[in-house]
Structure 1
Amino acid sequence: MSRVAEALIGEYFASGTLAQLPSRHFINGQWCSPASGRQLETFDPGTGRAFAAVAAGDAEDVELAVAAADKAMNETWRKVLPVERSRILQRAAEGIRTNAERLAIVECLDNGKTLDEARGDVRSAARLFEYYAGAADKLQGDSIPLGPDYVSFTHLEPVGVTAHIIPWNYPFSTAARGLAPALAAGCTAVLKPAEQTPLSALLLAEILHQAGLPAGVCNVLTGTGAEAGAPLVANPKVCHVTFTGSVGTGSLVMQAAARNITSVTLELGGKSPAVVLADCDLEAAVEDVLWGIFSNAGQICSAGSRLIIERSIHGEFVERLALRAAQLTLGHGLKNPHIGAITSLEQLNKISAYVDEAKKRGVNVVVGGARGVDPQSGEGWFFQPTVLDNLGPMDRLVQEEIFGPVLAVQVADSVEEALLLANATPFGLAAGIYTRDITKALRLARDIDAGQVYINEYFAGGVETPFGGNKLSGFGREKGLEGLGSYCRSKSVTARI
């Protein structure tokens, strides 16, 4: 562990907080107090105690942030050359890497995830800015052949002011996932992080400002969804909304945006299947399925939260999986256990309610099934890695997103039945396939209704691969070159000569 990390972790456990954490909005290139004067506490899920406070924003703060973004769009940012946008984003990537340890520790405290997971998120965010820095000066249109008497071409323009509603499960990397392509395309932005995890977006805005981003191009305001998020997505000067979160809230965002004919990208819930066929590499598949559901304490939209397994290997596979799950340690994220805390007490209660209800009706809990605490302090919001076996296709544990370390197991008697089970939910975000037969794998990949399919490695891919869902999992794609599409509009120009 680096000396920086050791010093910060020591400071936190000695004082219960960290020095110089942001506590105000970042609007128009400067720190701004909320119009209401109110603040919101932010909690360390590993202890269940507040360790910082941020501005409680409302509609008045939203208006200031959107006005700053609109002014910067019209007066400053649109005049910056694409190559200079590229350089700013590259400097931002370097700034993230320079501050990586502090960013990871703050993310760990705010979210509850393990330090290793937070470090991975920071690396991913830096890579996102690096990737889109390379695209900023390569956004070009097409020449359209209309014959010798015409010149016709398309020109890509930024859509304008963009709003980004950031979730609490991956606050730093998700902020970067939407912001980097928006800035690369020439848009300005207003970010509203989740009230549970507000700090890293504020730190990101500061890094961008230090990288040379003009005032007003990136603004971050904190507050609740009702008081800050709702007026942001409903603001008529916002030209595009990127939202990551629950299906219910995503529907409300879409309705609010529709009143202004504002476009949206929605990355919503999932109930993604890991389809394990009898000819798989059993040992490798067990390990991969384990981390497909228990990474980030299962708080991942695309988590492999359903195991669909052929009957002939069902018993052995679940037994091995349960043994591995029982070996995983819980604990405060800064102590780097296998699994960190649940981000909020509200979410912990939701997870617990699902599992308690399943126990009452006799569902087979193979492993886990109860709340936990940090073993050293006896504090925090934790839930044991849990496997629930042999569930029917319409069981609520199969059909509904739990968003926690809970795996629902379904048994199939054939590849054809496995496909039917995989598609038998209202979600379509991701899917995993485990088999040595590439023909079976590619046929399943073709026929499973999901935005991304992983073969023999869950979460395969990276910044370069498009990400998004079908059905209730949303629409639009982020990451990769497709991620730029939401932030550009095409203008055709035709001249008779």
Structure 2
Amino acid sequence: MNKAPVGIIIDGKTRPSVAGRTFEKRNPATGDLVSILSEGDAADIDLAVAAARRAFEGPWSRFTPSDRQALLLRFAELVDEHFEDIVMTDVLDIGMPITRSRGRRGLVSKMIRYYAGLATSIHGETPSHSLGDDFFAYTVREPVGVCGAITPWNGPAIAAIWKIAPVIVTGCTLVIKPSEEASGATLRYVELLHEAGVPPGVVNVVTGYGPTAGAALAMHPDVNMLSFTGSEGVGEQIIEGSKIGFKRVALELGGKSPNVVFADCDIEAALAGSSIIFANSGQVCTAPTRVLVERPIYDQFVEGLARYANGLKVGNGLDPETQMGPLINARQLDRVTGYMDLGTQEGARAAAGGGRLTGAAYDKGYFVSPTVFAGVDNAMRIAQEEIFGPVVCAIPFDAPEEAARVANDTRYGLAGAVWTNSVQTAHQMSRAIRAGTVWVNSYGPLDPTLPFGGFKSSGVGREQGFQNLDDYLETKSVIMKIA
């Protein structure tokens, strides 16, 4: 626990905000003070962007691809060494169960090392052209410049790497504004980056609130690219702000993912995979919030999912026995319980849960019960709107064509899944679902080689994969007369 003010990091130095303001971060499970953070605003963003521009045009520009690769590999070693620090920031900041936070070690380590490999793989082309033998032409990929990043609170240990790693790989520089609800992991990563040898100003952090620090970063005229993960409404504001300076944007804006369960599947495996909806208290953008179940097994599946929900241990993330922690704050508690009430009003039946948890173990935090709604029609608001809580809507279907129609009957398109023992059905449904990621007979595994992002209102651009680097690189054509 850090009760001394945690400073903003600009140009390699920790400092208070220009205005001298601070704010408190408290554990959502207990209400205990976790840290006091500097509250940055537009003045701090100005300083951070200026530092990033100096670094981009200065010593950082002389780092070779192999230099950047070595730096990332050293960073990976330090993250491995200090990962328990990152674990504790996620547990205390957002209430994530400690076993889940520790379980992310492998993915974080793989991501950093994967990006390190990409550092020496960026190249241009020498296309065949029709200019004649008097000309030699080629393309080069160059860093876009100063990047901004605004990260969410629901998975900071991974989200921060998604924003930091491609910047280092491509030779860009960065100003990152972590969520005010979860800044600890980002601050620790940046400390380790400097220990690994990142020059001052390459990666800067400004803690603070979205409407002040976040908006100033999004609209800053000297930011060339902005990556944002968060809500659809804020994403629209980011796009509006991108008009200033014509900055490019990459947005991941959430989802209402369909999880399609056919009668011929391994039901126990499908139940286990579908239960990921309760991970991180449902505060996961890819969460399988709509479970579409073929009618012959609908009642059996709903009963099994409700049984799983009722058996979960809900509590403080510091307890290694905890399987589901709290929601992030009082505002999210009101939102989720409001949707629980709405589900009943719309005619759905709560087969499990359906409200706030009370009692000595819960009264100081923001706890709700894992909830399964049966008898849901896809037109209901609980099936159409992103709740961002441990609430699953079970919807019956009779034929694959109906399942595909209902799966796509949402403005979102981030992820989805299909459970079936039919190879034909698996292929057909994977093609039919309009989403950036579709899992078959599993739910949720990610790998750094596979691009992650959404269709439709779930955003633009991709995290992970070689395609991720396109957002951070410009392509220049060089046409040389040689005779």
Return the TM-score normalized by structure 1.
0.94
Residues 56-205 of structure 1: matches in 2 within 5 Å?
56-146=39-129, 147-205=132-190
% identical aligned pairs: 39
Give the 3 Å change call, closer, same or farther, for CA 132–431 of structure 1 in structure 2: same
Residue pair 2:342, 2:382 contacting (<8 A) in 1 also: no
Q: Tell me, what secondary structure is at the counterpart of 1:357?
A: helix
Asked whether the 8 Å contact 2:282–2:390 carries over to 1, the reply is: yes
Q: Secondary structure at the match of 1:382?
A: coil
RMSD across aligned positions (CA): 1.4
Query: Which digits, 9 at most, give the CA deviation of each residue in 1:222-245, with x for residues without a partner?
Result: 000011000111111100000000
3-state SS of paired residue (2:242)? helix
The residue that corresponds to 2:270 in the other structure is: 285
Q: Partner residue of 1:487?
A: 472
Amino acid at match of 1:385: P
Q: Distance in 1 between matches of 2:396 and 2:444?
A: 23
Question: In the alignment, residue 398 of structure 1 is paired with which amino acid?
Answer: A
The equivalent residue for 1:7 is none
2-structure distance, mates of 1:196, 1:375 = 24
Q: Are the counterparts in 1 of residues 3 and 35 from structure 2 also a CA contact under 8 Å?
A: no
Q: Is the 8 A contact 1:332 1:374 kept in 2?
A: no
Alignment of 1:352-431 (within 5 A): 352-372=337-357, 376=361, 378-431=363-416
**Displacement after TM superposition at 1:124 (Å):** 2.6
Q: Could you tell me which residue of structure 1 aligns to residue 224 of structure 2? A: 239
The range that moved more, 121-130 or 205-214, is 121-130
Deviations 1:136-195 (Å, cap 9, x if unpaired)? 111111111225332111100000000000001011210101210111011000000011
Q: Using the TM superposition, give the Cα deviation of residue 338 of structure 1 relative to its aligned residue in structure 2, in angstroms.
A: 0.7
Q: For residues 359 and 15 of structure 2, what CA distance do their matches in structure 1 show?
A: 36
Separation in structure 1 between the aligned mates of residue 166 and residue 110 of structure 2, nearest angstrom: 12
Q: Deviations over 1:413-467 (max 9, x none)?
A: 1111000000001100000100000111111111111011000000133122100
The aligned amino acid for 1:305 is: T
365-374 or 233-242, larger mean C-alpha shift: 365-374
Distance 2:46 2:167 in 1: 20
Partner of residue 351, structure 1: 336
Does the CA-based 8 Å contact 2:3-2:34 persist in structure 1? no
Aligned residues of 1:97 and 1:123 also touching (Cα < 8 A): no
Question: Which residue of structure 2 aligns with residue 13 of structure 1?
Answer: none
Q: Is the 8 A contact 2:5 2:38 kept in 1?
A: no
Q: Quote how far apart the aligned CAs of 1:376 are.
A: 4.3
Per the alignment, residue 323 of structure 1 pairs with 307
**Alpha-carbon deviations, 1:82-120, whole Å to 9, x = none?**
101111111111111110112101211001111122123
Mean alpha-carbon deviation: is it higher for 113-122 or for 299-308?
Answer: 113-122
Q: Could you give the per-residue CA deviations for residues 360-397 of structure 1, whole angstroms, max 9, x where no partner exists?
A: 34420000111125864753111111001121121001
Which of the residues 22, 31, 46 maps onto 1:39? 22
Matches of 2:313 and 2:57, distance apart in 1: 52
Distance 1:496 1:149 in 2: 6
The separation in 2 between residues aligned to 1:392 and 1:295, in whole angstroms, is: 24
Q: Distance in 2 between matches of 1:21 and 1:316?
A: 53
Distance 2:274 2:99 in 1: 19
SS in 2 for 1:332: coil
Which 10-residue stretch deviates more, 217-226 or 149-158?
Answer: 149-158
Amino acid in structure 1 at the alignment position of 2:8 = H
Question: CA separation of 1:31/1:334 partners in 2, compared to 1, >3 Å: closer, same or farther?
Answer: same
Gaps of 5+ in 1: 1-17
1:298 partnered with 2:282: yes
Secondary structure at the residue paired with 1:67?
Answer: helix
**Aligned mate of 1:471, from 421, 438, 456:** 456
State the SS of the aligned residue for 1:104: helix
Opposite residue 279 of structure 2, the aligned amino acid is S
The equivalent of 1:457 in structure 2 is 442
> Counterparts of 2:249 and 2:228 in 1: how far apart (Å)?
7
8 Å CA contact 1:27–1:216 kept in 2: the answer is yes
Give the distance between the partners of 1:77 and 1:20, measured in 2 at CA.
34
Q: Is the 8 A contact 2:349 2:375 kept in 1?
A: yes
Q: 2:220 touches 2:244 (CA, 8 Å); kept in 1?
A: no
For residues 165 and 268 of structure 2, what CA distance do their matches in structure 1 show? 38
Contact conserved, 2:3 with 2:36, CA < 8 A, in 1? no
Displacement of 1:34 after TM fit? 0.5
- Describe the shift of the 1:218–1:104 C-alpha distance in structure 2 as closer, same or farther (beyond 3 A): same
Among candidates 324, 329, 332, match of residue 316 of structure 2: 332
Is 1:257 paired with 2:242?
A: yes
Q: Structure 1 CA distance, aligned partners of 2:362 and 2:161? A: 34
Q: State the aligned residue count.
A: 479
Residue in 1 that maps onto 2:423: 438
Q: Is the Cα contact below 8 Å between 1:373 and 1:379 reproduced in 2? A: no
State the Cα distance separating 1:326 from its structure 2 match.
0.7
Say if 1:81 and 1:344 are closer, same or farther in 2 by CA, change over 3 A: same
State the partner residue of 2:200.
Answer: 215
Distance (Å, rounded) in 2 between the aligned partners of 1:19 and 1:208: 20
Q: What stretches of structure 2 of length at least 5 have no aligned partner?
A: none
The TM-score normalised by the length of structure 2 is 0.97
Please say if residues 245 and 268 of structure 1, whose CA atoms lie closer than 8 Å, have aligned partners that are also in contact: yes
Match of 1:308 in 2: 292
